[in-house]
Amino acid sequence: MRDTFVRALMDIARQDQRVMLLTADLGFGVLTPFAETFPNQFLNVGVAEQNMTGVATGLALEGKIVFTYSIGNFPTLRCLEQIRNDVCYHDASVKIVCIGGGFCYGPLGISHHATEDLAMMRALPQMKVMAPGDLAETGLITRIAYETPGPCYLRLGRGGEAKIHQDALNFFLGQGIPLVSKGDVALLSTGGILANAVKARESLAGLGISASLHSLPFLQPLDHGLIRDLAQSSRLMVTIEEHSITGGLGGAVAEVLAELPGPKPPLVRLGLRQGFSSEVGDQEHLREIYGLSPDAIVQRVKATLPMEKKEARIHAV
């Protein structure tokens, strides 16, 4: 995702000299093409994320469209006060880019596990929160962030993600993206875990359980209409995120469902439940531990799907 982001941003920067990219002494090699092509639109502020955010705000208030770039929790939690007081309070056009959301930097431990960032960013006034699910979504969302006034947060993978959408995408800020539109179970995924959600849906189909699948790359604003529709047509709703279930996609969907009148399907929130992600290992190892592997997703759906529907499926077979 990070290479796709850099290429998309370079295309934008060629057309608009207001675009600037700031980094806190990270991204060597990855950001080199941008820095060499647009030396007047690039600034390395050193290991000083708080200062980077303040500088970005000043540039934005002078008419620039500024992207700040760092890894994991560094561009968010390390400078949360500056994001709140400088960027959001002034509604500045600063686009905060996190490379390595979730467990991308799993071997480096808890300091590099970005598992609360979506919740923190969702809570900030003015902030738009974006977590694309694959390379195709990343390219379009980079442009949406550029075109959207005010603060934005882009949560990206580290690299190696697949291109899941094979057809050209055309979606707008706040819209969910259907991969499979209908099913007894509604799978809702945000961020780079989308590939595991795709595999889980295929496995469920092999077991005779139909599941719709939607990518939700926007947590703020959230696609309330899609959630309302799925609540009426689904027997079970499942959110899948490489993040704490508190305040992330699971929390956001739960908020919408709580305010809907009438009966609603059960909601299963898959992600980190309590405590820190204290395990260390590569991304897939940690996904397995925290119940985010394709098989773990399937097992949770099977265990939670209303019994009368499971029995109907068995008799039908």
127 and 184 assigned to the same domain:
no
Q: What is the number of structural domains in the chain?
A: 2
143 and 192 assigned to the same domain:
no
User: Which residue range is the domain that position 289 belongs to?
Assistant: 177-316
Q: Which residues contact 8 (CB under 8 A, 6 or more apart)?
A: 138, 139, 142, 143
111 and 72 assigned to the same domain:
yes
27 and 147 assigned to the same domain:
yes
137 and 20 assigned to the same domain:
yes
CB 216 within 8 A of CB 200: no
CATH number of residue 189's parent domain? 3.40.50.920
220 and 76 assigned to the same domain:
no
Q: What is the pLDDT of residue 120?
A: 97
Q: What is the pLDDT of residue 313?
A: 46
Give the phi and the psi of residue 226 in degrees, each rounded to 5.
-60, -45
Q: What is the pLDDT of residue 40?
A: 97
Q: What is the pLDDT of residue 307?
A: 63
Q: Is 162 inside any structural domain?
A: no
Q: Is 163 inside any structural domain?
A: no
CB 174 within 8 A of CB 227: no
Q: Is 166 inside any structural domain?
A: no
Tens of pLDDT, residue by residue over 147-163, are 999 999 999 998 778 88
Residue (of 300, 242, 244) closest to 268 by Cα position: 300
CB 96 within 8 A of CB 173: no
150 and 286 assigned to the same domain:
no
182 and 152 assigned to the same domain:
no
34 and 141 assigned to the same domain:
yes
Q: Is 261 inside any structural domain?
A: yes
235 and 268 assigned to the same domain:
yes
Q: How many CB atoms lie within 10 A of CB 199?
A: 15
Q: Is 132 inside any structural domain?
A: yes
Cis peptide leading into residue 221 (ω within 30°) = yes
The first and second tokens of residue 100, run together, are 């390595």
Q: Where a domain ends, among 98, 125, 156?
A: 156
Q: Is 167 inside any structural domain?
A: no
Instruction: Classify residue 35 by burial, with Cβ atoms within 10 Å: 0-12, 13-18, 19+.
Output: middle
136 and 181 assigned to the same domain:
no
Q: Is 161 inside any structural domain?
A: no
Q: Where a domain ends, among 127, 156, 185?
A: 156
CATH number of residue 48's parent domain? 3.40.50.970
CA dist., res. 211 & res. 237, Å (int): 10
- In the predicted model, residues of the chain with pLDDT beneath 70 are 307-317
Tens of pLDDT, residue by residue over 265-316, are 999 999 998 788 888 999 999 999 999 999 999 999 999 997 655 444 433 3
Q: Is 169 inside any structural domain?
A: no
Q: List the Cα angle 259/264/268 in 5-degree steps.
A: 95
128 and 233 assigned to the same domain:
no
